Amino acid sequence: MSSDALSSVAYGPEQILIVLATISAAALWYSLPIALGVLILLVALILSYRQIIFAYPQGGGAYMVAKENLGMNFGLVAGGSLLVDYILTVAVSVSSGTDAITSAFRLFIILILCY
């Protein structure tokens, strides 16, 4: 599986709940249809990866698959898109980790002040 789908599982649900809680407590109900949509997208991703693995057992990747099936320009767009995607994945993962550390630090301070 790609790093995008795996890292998104780490911070995606929390961010969805933060946005819905900001709207109202009643909006938290929308987290169930959103979770179902994410699940459907993950199933589609898994099925797509399986097809690519069977079609390109020697290895492929977005660049090779797009280049062979759609042409050189589409292959270059796919390769460039992956570079941007990986940069954004790292940026969002780092900011999510920073958010988690700062929230844990706040909780630690609150616990110290309570005792």
CA distance to 25, 66, 106, per residue, from 56 (Å): 47, 12, 49
Q: What whole-number distance in Å separates Cα of residue 18 and Cα of residue 99?
A: 12
Q: How far apart are the first and last CA of the chain?
A: 45
Chain mean pLDDT for the chain = 82
Query: Tokens for 86?
Result: 């990986």
pTM: 0.61
Low-confidence ranges of the chain (pLDDT < 50): 1
**pLDDT in the model for residue 10:** 64
Where do the domains of the chain lie? 1-55, 63-115
